[in-house]
Amino acid sequence: MRGASQAKWVVAAVAVALAATACGSSNSSGGSSGGGDAVNAQGVFSYQSSEPQNPLQPANAMEVGGGRIIKSLFKGLVDYDPSNGQLRNQVAEKIETNDAQNYTVTLKSGWTFHDGTPVTAASFVDAWNWSANVKNNQINSDWFSDIQGYTDVHPDAGDPKAETMSGLKVVDDTHFTIALNGPVSYFEYKLGYTAFSPLPKVFFTDPAKYGQAPIGNGAYKFVSWEHNKAVTVAAYDKYAGIDKPKNAGIVFKNYSQAEAAYKDLVSDNLDVLDQVDPSDLASYKNDLGDRAVDQAQGAIQSISFSLYAADWKPENLAKVRQGLSMAIDRDTITKTVLNGSRQPANSWVAPGAMGYKDNTCGEACTYNPEKAKQLVTEGGGVPGNKITVLYNADGGHKEWVDAVCNSIRQATGVECTGDAKPDFKTSRDLIKNKKVDGLMRTGWVQDYPLNANFLRDVYGTGAAANDAGYSSPEFDKLAAEADKATTVEKTAELYQQAEAQLAKDMPAIPLWYYKTTAGYSKNVQNVKYDSFGDPVFTQVEVKQK
Amino acid sequence: MGRFVARRLLQMIPVFLGTVTIIFFMTRMLPGDPAAAMWGDKAADPAQLAAFKHDRGLDLSKWQQYLHYMGDLFTGNFGETLAGRKVIDVIGEALPVTVRLALLAFVFELVVGVAIGLFAGLRRGKAFDKGSLVLTLLLISIPVPVLGFIFQNVFAIQLGWITPTVQDSMNLGQLVLPAIVLGSISLAYVARLTRTSIAENLKADYMRTAVAKGLPRRKVIGTHLLRNSMIPVVTFLGTDLGALMGGAIVTEGIFNVKGVGNALYHAINLNEGATVSGFVVVLVLVYLVASLLVDLLYAVLDPRIRYA
């Protein structure tokens, strides 16, 4: 019996070891759930994050890992009200313009950086000049390209001709002026991007050192950055913004696998989730109950036609394109293939953006197989009765592309196949170089919540993201008028007229809007997400234990 | 013996140089431009892209980069990550974590594996032996991710004994479960190797002699049987230590352990040649040292083995 008794001992040892793990971790887990809704203002919560790719400088964060941390540490002239996406003033008292080209900025007083120094007009102007300078290699430097003199500090090749942009002038501590190359009525909207944050004097002495321990002016101040593990920030008690934090700080906890983060959330070891991983999408609402989040995001998925290719050029093909759009059963595909993680689209602008108008696509975005077939036939049919949809195979698009093709095939009889390219880079190369003949997967994530961003930057003639090669004099005329408008409201309205032109020409088929599918733990409440898919960090309330 | 060690150490040099060279060129030949990828979906600014590549020496030819890299390597400089951190710092953070994890897994598979193998081998054909064969077959056939998820679900989600992921990667207690998952496949091999070896040696002449001499059973098994049966197991364990360190990539991902596997995963995703080859250099060293130790242990286990 010796062997057997020894075996028991082994099993017992494993059990003891496991029990020891349980003891070792219980103090850090803080997993107790009870305690009504009393809020602990001193409470800190954790958030699912990833290692920032770059040093933490406002103009150098493009990816979400660093971007969200920067957003908590810095506050610019304006930001977007998370509840409705509307622009609101933060450091700016007011931003005035008569011609949408020359702006005068007045700052509020009382704003300070986390080292106690005041935020002045120079804090902005110096920061922008430094960030735009090609020598400083900031990844977001092209955000300053609207400003006069940008090409002097950021030439396409060679050394900069100047250290400062001629369009920026400091008047006094609380005033500065901005002159743009031309009218951009929604320039204020762009100013909400983190690249336009102010920088304290200490930044310029050693930017590299600063990037490891930044000093901002935002609602949270930097505490520590344990590389590959976590970034910790704490509420800044002298924060002068209108969105004072309701918690004492955030731990941006690093996860390399979304599945691991989800498991931690379900067991209350992580408080706020970024996104539910695909494998848990089907069950997350069940697991989290009313702590599951499912709301619209400012991003859209579409398929575009290669209008530059001979096959798709003829203008009367608009009917065919509308017919193909009508042949797609968006409701069923988003519910089944995409597990409800997308919302069927009926316009080219994502909801939540200012100027979003419901159903601008109208009938063409409503599933109607009979009408679809009729339109395709009336329009003269698809060239060769065969279409392909180009997509990148590394992004999990295969399933829905196949579903869309099936839908088109069944409704119209047009032969439709997916055309997979191995990775994002390869498919982008083909699209950028206009080498697609047929349809291609395209999408747009908002830079700022305004319809102009979804329209001008995607469908304007020659726009950088105009993958379809769409060119409509009518659309361009309306867009130009909208850009010259003196108020953002007017701009948004005029862009809605431009959007109506898209419904007539159908250069791209809107498929669905992205959604924020996330959730939070039992330790926190009042967790809301803005249209960028970011939690509203300052509003999160940590429950009393 | 001394000459043998010296010769083995000298042999390590070409092996080391060869592996580092191969890894250098392999990582640098991966498709995609890591510098341009920093701009994400947007087109990279040509002036900045050129400046960035120049700063990192990425505009040189592969051979020039290689010579620079090797030159730096001998001064202990592993280069920089794309974000501008020293690779040696990244390794310094990740390595202690994975060393702990791998050693825990190693101890687990050694102690439990040899114990199971020993008792199964001694009682061949009995219930325990059959049970151990079934158990090890199960462990070998379940992929590590599946085992990890099962453990996570049972012990963390269902029973609530532990947190689903490791909260503090340097905490040995919290690393026990990932270590068990990591070591489980090797455990099965160790158990089976030991079992076969023990069963065979039981019939050996020296065993009969030892028993005939009237030695106590503990001594017969401990000194004579186990010692001679450990040679194939030690060979396996030696190479396995390196495999555990490199193979932690899956386990570390499941349990969110901030070790070598995690850092490697991140670096491969970003196409960071310098970081990947830095870690591989360290792993190659671990393998080389482990296999040297194995060779030396042979002499200890079986004095008849002599090194020329």
Is the Cβ of A463 closer than 8 Å to some Cβ of chain B? no
User: Is A17–B160 a contact, with Cβ atoms under 8 angstroms apart?
Assistant: no
User: Is B162–A156 a contact, with Cβ atoms under 8 angstroms apart?
Assistant: no
Which chain B residues are Cβ-neighbours of A31 within 8 angstroms? 160, 163
pLDDT at res. B300: 78
User: Which residue among B41, B112, B171 sits closest to A10, beta carbon to beta carbon?
Assistant: B112
pLDDT at res. A404: 95
Residue A35 has pLDDT above 70, yes or no: no
The model's pLDDT over B74-91, given as tens digits with 9 standing for 90+, comes to 887 888 887 778 888 999
User: Is B162–A22 a contact, with Cβ atoms under 8 angstroms apart?
Assistant: yes
Residues 20-79 (A) with a CB less than 8 A from some CB of B:
20-25, 28-29, 31, 51-55, 62-63
User: Which residue among A20, A139, A227 sits closest to B173, beta carbon to beta carbon?
Assistant: A20
pLDDT at res. A180: 94
CA distances from B276 to B20, B269, B271, B307 (A): 11, 10, 8, 36
Asked whether B239 and B291 are in contact (CB, 8 A), the reply is yes
Residue A195 has pLDDT above 70, yes or no: yes
pLDDT at res. A32: 38
Q: Residue A386 and residue A375: Cα distance in Å, rounded? A: 16
Q: A402 forms bridges with which residues in the sheet?
A: none
Q: Residue A126 and residue A153: Cα distance in Å, rounded? A: 13
Residue A525 has pLDDT above 70, yes or no: yes
User: Which residue among A14, A208, A228 sits closest to B262, beta carbon to beta carbon?
Assistant: A228
ipTM reported for the complex surpasses 0.85: no
Q: Residue A388 and residue A420: Cα distance in Å, rounded? A: 10
Residue of A nearest to B94 (CA): A228
Query: Which of B167, B168, B220 to substitute to test the interface with A, most A CBs within 10 Å?
Result: B167
Which chain A residues are Cβ-neighbours of B119 within 8 angstroms? 2-3, 6-7
Residues 237-266 (B) with a CB less than 8 A from some CB of A:
252-256, 258, 262-263, 265-266
Asked whether A203 and A47 are in contact (CB, 8 A), the reply is no
User: Is A25–B174 a contact, with Cβ atoms under 8 angstroms apart?
Assistant: yes
Tally the residues of chain A: 545
User: Is A259–B254 a contact, with Cβ atoms under 8 angstroms apart?
Assistant: yes
Tokens of B155: 């012990």
User: Is B256–A227 a contact, with Cβ atoms under 8 angstroms apart?
Assistant: no
Residue A11 has pLDDT above 50, yes or no: no
pLDDT at res. B130: 93
Q: Residue A413 and residue A386: Cα distance in Å, rounded? A: 9
CA distances from A348 to A42, A503, B20, B25 (A): 43, 9, 51, 45
pLDDT at res. B243: 82
Residues 259-288 (A) with a CB less than 8 A from some CB of B:
259-261, 263-264, 266-267, 269
Residues 6+ apart with CB under 8 A from B28: B62, B65, B273
Q: What is the mean pLDDT of chain A?
A: 88
Is the Cβ of A433 closer than 8 Å to some Cβ of chain B? no
User: Which residue among B42, B93, B180 sits closest to A227, beta carbon to beta carbon?
Assistant: B93
User: Which residue among B38, B42, B122 sits closest to A53, beta carbon to beta carbon?
Assistant: B38
The model's pLDDT over A334-350, given as tens digits with 9 standing for 90+, comes to 999 888 889 999 999 99
Q: Pairing state of beta strands A508-519 and A175-179?
A: unpaired
Query: Which of B30, B33, B39, B48 to substitute to test the interface with A, most A CBs within 10 Å?
Result: B48
Least confident of A408-417, A425-434, B58-67: A425-434
The model's pLDDT over A200-221, given as tens digits with 9 standing for 90+, comes to 999 999 998 999 999 999 999 9
How many helices and strands, by DSSP H and E, does chain A display?
Answer: 17, 18
Tokens of A308: 């530059």
pLDDT at res. A91: 96
pLDDT at res. B40: 64
CA distance A317 to chain B (A): 30
Residue B211 has pLDDT above 90, yes or no: no
Residue A6 has pLDDT above 50, yes or no: no
Least confident of A525-539, B22-36, B143-157: B22-36
User: Is B157–A266 a contact, with Cβ atoms under 8 angstroms apart?
Assistant: yes
Residues of chain A with pLDDT > 70, as a percent, come to 93
What three-state secondary structure class fits B170? coil
| C-alpha angle A354-A355-A361 in degrees, rounded to nearest 5 | 130
User: Which residue among B89, B128, B173 sits closest to A7, beta carbon to beta carbon?
Assistant: B128
Instruction: Tell me the residue ranges of DSSP E strands in A216-317.
Output: 220-226, 230-235, 249-254, 292-305
The model's pLDDT over B136-194, given as tens digits with 9 standing for 90+, comes to 999 889 888 899 889 888 988 888 888 888 888 888 888 889 999 999 989 999 999 99
Q: Residue A122 and residue A168: Cα distance in Å, rounded? A: 10
Is the Cβ of B155 closer than 8 Å to some Cβ of chain A? yes
Tokens of B58: 């990425």
Q: How far apart are the first and last CA of chain B?
A: 8
Q: Which has the closest alpha carbon to A242: A108, A66, A421?
A: A108
Which chain B residues are Cβ-neighbours of A62 within 8 angstroms? 38-40, 42
Residue of B nearest to A265 (CA): B164
Choose between B36 and B192: higher pLDDT: B192
CA distance B39 to chain A (A): 7
Alpha helices by DSSP H, A283-416? 284-288, 318-326, 330-335, 369-378, 398-412
Residues 188-227 (B) with a CB less than 8 A from some CB of A:
none
pTM: 0.83
- pLDDT band for position B294 (50/70/90)? confident
Query: Which of A227, A427, A521 to substitute to test the interface with B, most B CBs within 10 Å?
Result: A227
Which chain A residues are Cβ-neighbours of B253 within 8 angstroms? 256-257, 260
Is the Cβ of B167 closer than 8 Å to some Cβ of chain A? yes
User: Is B256–A7 a contact, with Cβ atoms under 8 angstroms apart?
Assistant: no
Is the Cβ of B76 closer than 8 Å to some Cβ of chain A? no
